[in-house]
């Protein structure tokens, strides 16, 4: 692997509140592609990982930038909006580690990305080798910004760049199901490394099972990556369709960022020249560590 391999993770990073006992809460920094960026640096410190977003000029935005720098994540592609602030979400978990969320993000600074921030995504992505996007990354953008990003990805890939995409479906971020399906399909059709979760894909497209999900993705040109299936283990989206047998989690505390950490482990292994099977093993092993701790970005050392 080229030690200068550069990965751009694009999307929204927020302030995370983890509800505790009584009125207590823990404040952190998190967001799906941001979680992946943090775990990428943990899994492969030699990689250059940069985060692409818009923040405000407030103290919470300053806190986020400090968090990025502390984790070794590049901040050169972070711009600052003069009046908007980062989004916020609160999380609670039940006894089985399953999550429930409440969000305050409808006017976050990140929603101006590739639109009111005045940047051309082609210029932002040009210096990178791989771009990681999610369904949340594209859902928060304006229609015009999504078009700019989609068009920029054509040139980026034509010049040898790779797109990794996780559909990460959040219904409340989309105007309606029809739009969510159409836009997600558009990005699947230009994806080089697919990292979907079977539950998201079934909820979004109405597939009956994982075999229908895989068939549909392959009909759109997906030929590389992994379908995440939780305890059932991932399936290689390559030609052989290998299903990876995986150990069960012994102790689940919080499933937040399970998919994000899998993505990080998979991409770190891929970027460092390992096979798809080894990448799935790395992704699953990392996710197992993460769900044994509380929060999105946890100490796994």
Would you give the end-to-end CA distance of the chain in angstroms? 24
d(CA 263, CA 279): 9
Quote the CA–CA distance of 188 and 194 in Å, as a whole number.
8
If one counts every other C-beta atom within 10 angstroms of the C-beta of residue 170, the result is: 17
Q: What token pair was written down for 296?
A: 């999105």
E strand segments, the chain: 6-10, 14-19, 25-30, 48-55, 78-80, 88-93, 99-104, 130-134, 162-166, 193-194, 226-227, 235-236
Say whether 260 is catalytic: yes
DSSP string, 280-295: HHHHHHHHHHHTTSSS
- Within 13 Å of residue 205, how many CA atoms lie on the same side as its CB? 25
Cα separation of 191 and 208, whole Å?
23
* Total residue length of the chain: 301
Task: Find out whether 72 and 97 touch, Cβ atoms under 8 Å.
Answer: no
Q: Which residues pair with 93 in a beta bridge?
A: 99
Q: Per the residue annotation, which of 129, 200, 254, 260 is the catalytic one?
A: 260
Residue 251's contacts (CB-CB under 8 Å, 6 or more residues apart) are 292
Point out the residues that are catalytic: 260
């Amino acid at each position: 692997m080229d030690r200068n391999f550069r990965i751009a993770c694009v999307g929204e990073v927020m302030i995370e509140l983890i509800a505790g006992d009584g009125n207590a809460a823990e404040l952190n920094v998190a967001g799906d592609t941001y979680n992946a960026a943090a775990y990428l640096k943990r899994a492969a410190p030699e990689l250059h990982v940069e985060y692409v977003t818009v923040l405000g000029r407030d103290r919470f935005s300053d806190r986020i930038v400090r968090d990025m720098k502390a984790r070794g994540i590049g901040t050169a592609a972070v711009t600052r909006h003069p009046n908007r602030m980062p989004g916020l979400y609160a999380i609670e978990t039940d006894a089985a580690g399953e999550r429930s969320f409440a969000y305050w993000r409808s006017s976050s600074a990140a929603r101006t990305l590739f639109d009111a921030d005045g940047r051309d995504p082609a210029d932002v992505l040009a210096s990178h080798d791989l771009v990681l996007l999610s369904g949340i990354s594209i859902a928060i953008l304006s229609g015009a910004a999504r078009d700019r990003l989609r068009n920029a990805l054509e040139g980026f890939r034509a010049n040898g760049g790779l797109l990794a995409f996780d559909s990460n479906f959040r219904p409340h971020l989309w105007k309606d199901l029809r739009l969510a399906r159409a836009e997600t399909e558009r990005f699947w059709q230009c994806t080089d490394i697919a990292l979907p979760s079977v539950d998201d894909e079934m909820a979004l497209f109405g597939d009956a099972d994982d075999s229908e999900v895989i068939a549909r993705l392959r009909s759109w040109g997906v030929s590389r990556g992994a379908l995440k299936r939780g305890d059932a283990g991932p399936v290689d989206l390559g030609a052989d369709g290998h299903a990876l047998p995986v150990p069960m989690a012994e102790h689940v505390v919080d499933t937040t960022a399970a998919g994000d950490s899998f993505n990080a482990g998979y991409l770190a292994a891929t970027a460092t020249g390992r096979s798809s099977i080894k990448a799935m093993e790395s992704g699953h092993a990392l996710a197992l560590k993460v769900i044994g701790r509380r929060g999105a970005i946890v100490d796994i050392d």
